Amino acid sequence: MNSTPTGTARFLPERVRAADTAHLWHPYAAVPGAERPYVVTGAGGTRLSLWSEEGTYHVVDGMSSWWSAIHGYRHPVLDAAVRGQVDSYSHVMFGGLTHGPAAELAETLVALTPEPLEHVFLADSGSVSVEVAMKMCLQYHRSTGSPGRRRFLTWRGGYHGDTFHAMSVCDPSGGMHSLWGDVLPAQVHAPEPPAGFDTEPDPLYVDAFERLAAEHAGELAAIIVEPVVQGAGGMRFHHPGYLRELRRIADAYGLLLVFDEIATGFGRTGELFAADHAGVAPDVMCLGKALTGGYLTLAATLCTGRVARGIAGGEVPVLAHGPTFMGNPLACATALASVELLTRGDWRGDVARIEAGLREGLAPAERLPGVREVRVLGAVGVVELEAPVRMGEATRAAVEAGVWLRPFRDHVYAMPPYVCGPEDVAVIAAGMVAAARASLGEGPR
């Protein structure tokens, strides 16, 4: 019989460590116990309090808890939203019922996102929102007389989540899901778009992409991409002009256009949505991460009236998807508070301040041997190395410099909370440089 610890001992860091080692499996980690993560003992504002056997640390969170905690931790407005909704009701089923937080959130999202997006499906997570988007596209074509359109055109270097169909539109060979290439649905992958936010679109690349669309037009349901910033697939930036070309190509060949804005939405790139850089509206848009300010898991899939009407006109007139926690009132109330907090504040100024601080603070990394490129866009900073990051050394160096970072592959990067002041941003940038030095085998300076 398993025994359950009682009293405050269960909350001591040593006890957390023991239980974690014995039972928990962490993201992208080997068997339980193989990784020894830092124990979080507190959080507030831009900072995390961490414990390890080597000591305790108070660090600036350069990751925004995987890009979601844009307002930092224990924000009084979001705390109040959570408490207020708990005092009313925390959850009700969404089948046959509705409620104020979901309705207000949907109205707010439709008002903020590009026209003509007007319908909102509330999902549990970013990956699920991508699954729903893909299902929408497939069912739209099935309902409008083109059941053979069941594949997706995307570009390599992308990342759209860890659920099954979402994995199929991630990078097929260089990404995290190449293990499953022989069992995932076969999609059509174009080469990565040429890099550089300020580099004008390459007509030869656009022509080649359009040839792929033309070649497979009869079997393609949609184009799906991350606009402007390819996130977990490689932290690469591309010119917004490519989005305008994708819109043109989608229209020319009868395809829907899906923008995965889970990482880029809500101001991260300097515009409220990355699509706004190009002035382009997709047929379907996925949102998540920063939607609730990092408090609760929630995502949204938005679509146009044309897509919704197409599905409704089919033999099966309903979108057959309904998670248990769909439209969770607690998450919706928190998301509404987070979005209002963002849009009523000076989010453009906040992101511009972070961008300027990262550009200045990361300049020393450009001179390090073994650094391929340093790039910054909005509140995203990246130091790309020529070799894979030595995770242990890089993470430890960052923590000792007062920053929490989570490098991957050959990237040391940060997506800070928007509430970071100039001193916080300077600490983050210095921690990134320290992490790069440690990974490259150079001592601190």
Q: Do 29 and 143 lie in a common domain? A: no
Helix (H) or strand (E) holding 154: strand 151-155
Amino acid at 214: A
State what percent of residues in the chain have pLDDT above 90: 91
- 274-306 per-position pLDDT tens digit: 999 999 999 999 999 999 999 999 999 999 999
CA pair distance 209, 380, nearest whole angstrom: 27
Task: Answer with the one of 309, 344, 379 that is the final residue of a domain.
Answer: 344
Cβ atoms 62, 404 nearer than 8 A: yes
Residues 423 and 335 in one domain: no
Q: Which two tokens stand for residue 118?
A: 């007007």
The string of DSSP codes covering 270-298 is SSSSGGGGTT---SEEEE-GGGGTTSS--
Q: Are 229 and 380 in contact (CB under 8 A)?
A: yes
Is residue 21 annotated as involved in ligand binding?
no
Residue 2 maps to a domain: no
Note whether residue 4 is domain-resident. Answer: no
314 in a known ligand binding site: no
**Is 301 annotated to bind ligand?**
no
**CATH of residue 174:** 3.40.640.10
Same domain, 117 and 205: yes
Q: Would you say 126 is a known binding-site residue? A: yes
Q: How many domains is the chain built from?
A: 2
- What is the distance between the alpha carbons of residues 344 and 400, in angstroms, rounded to a whole number? 36
Q: What are phi and psi of 76, to 5 degrees?
A: -60, -35
On whether residue 5 sits in a domain, the answer given is: no
Neighbours of 141 (CB within 10 A): 23
Residue-number span of the structural domain to which 109 is assigned? 77-344
Task: Please report whether residue 1 resides in a domain.
Answer: no
Whether residue 411 sits in one domain with residue 325: no
What are the angstrom distances between the C-alpha of 287 and each of 101, 223, 383? 17, 17, 26
323 belongs to an annotated ligand binding site:
yes
- Report the alpha-carbon distance of residue 198 to residue 297 in Å, rounded: 34
- Asked whether the beta carbons of 292 and 300 are under 8 A apart, the reply is no
- 223, 152 in Cβ contact below 8 A? yes
User: Which amino acid is located at 2 in the chain?
Assistant: N
Q: Answer yes or no: is pLDDT of 362 > 90.
A: yes
* 226: amino acid identity, one letter: E
CATH code: domain of residue 366: 3.90.1150.10
Same domain, 279 and 130: yes
Is residue 3 included in any domain, yes or no?
A: no
363-388: average pLDDT = 98
Backbone dihedral angles phi then psi of residue 292, each to the nearest 5 degrees: -100, 15
Which pair of tokens denotes residue 205?
């690349």
Q: Is 66 assigned to a binding site?
A: yes
CB neighbours (10 Å) of residue 308?
Answer: 16
Task: Retrieve residue 342's tokens.
Answer: 């963002």
Q: Residue 19 phi/psi, 5° resolution?
A: -65, -40
In a domain, 7, yes or no: no
Sheet containing strand 403-404, strands side by side: 39-44, 47-52, 55-61, 403-404
Final residue of a domain: which of 344, 375, 404?
Answer: 344
Pairwise CA distance, residues 220 & 439, whole Å: 43
Task: State how far the Cα of 60 lies from the Cα of 25, in Å rounded to an integer.
Answer: 25
The set of long-range contacts for 160-165, using a CB threshold of 8 Å and a minimum separation of 24, is 160/127, 160/130, 160/224, 160/226, 160/260, 161/125, 161/126, 161/127, 161/128, 161/130, 161/131, 161/262, 162/127, 163/127, 163/128, 163/130, 163/131, 164/131, 165/130, 165/131, 165/134, 165/135
Asked whether residue 343 is marked as a ligand-binding residue, the answer is no
Q: Are residues 319 and 358 in the same domain?
A: no
Neighbours of 343 (CB within 10 A): 14
Residue 73 DSSP one-character state: B
State residue 1's pLDDT score: 44
Q: Phi, psi (5° rounding) for residue 77?
A: -65, -45
Assign 61 to helix, strand or coil. Answer: strand
171 & 227 share domain: yes
- Looking at the fold, whether 69 and 142 belong to one and the same domain comes out as no
Residue 8 burial by Cβ neighbours in a 10 Å radius (0-12, 13-18, 19+) = exposed
Secondary structure letter of residue 316 according to DSSP: S
For residues 7 and 322, which has the higher predicted lDDT (pLDDT)? Answer: 322
CA 160 – CA 170 distance, rounded (Å): 6
Proportion of the chain in helix, strand, coil states, percent, rounded to 5: 40, 20, 40
Q: Give the integer Cα–Cα distance in Å for 156 and 192.
A: 5
Confidence (pLDDT) at 83 = 99
pLDDT of residue 10: 60
Domain endpoint, select from 310, 344, 378: 344
- pLDDT (0 to 100) of residue 444: 62
**pLDDT score of 173:** 85
Q: Is residue 374 part of a domain?
A: yes
**Residue 6 in domain:** no
Q: Kindly report, residue by residue over 245-260, the tens digit of the pLDDT.
A: 999 999 999 999 999 9
Burial of 33 per CB tally in 10 Å (0-12, 13-18, 19+): middle
276 is annotated as contributing to ligand binding: no
**Bond from prior residue into 369 cis (ω within 30 degrees of 0):** no
pLDDT tens digits for range 71-100: 999 999 999 999 999 999 999 999 999 999
Q: Are residues 135 and 225 in the same domain?
A: yes
Q: For residue 76, what are its two tokens?
A: 């009084």
pLDDT (tens digit per residue) in 161-200: 999 999 999 999 876 677 888 899 999 999 999 999 999 9
| Residue 217 backbone class (left: φ over 0; alpha: ψ -120 to 50; beta: rest) | alpha
Token representation of residue 123: 């999902």
265 in the same domain as 133: yes
SS3 state of residue 191: coil
**Active site amino acids:** 28, 159, 260, 289
Residue 8: band (very low, low, confident or very high) from pLDDT cuts 50, 70, 90:
very low
- Shared domain for 265 and 385, answered yes or no, is no
Residues 181 and 224 in one domain: yes
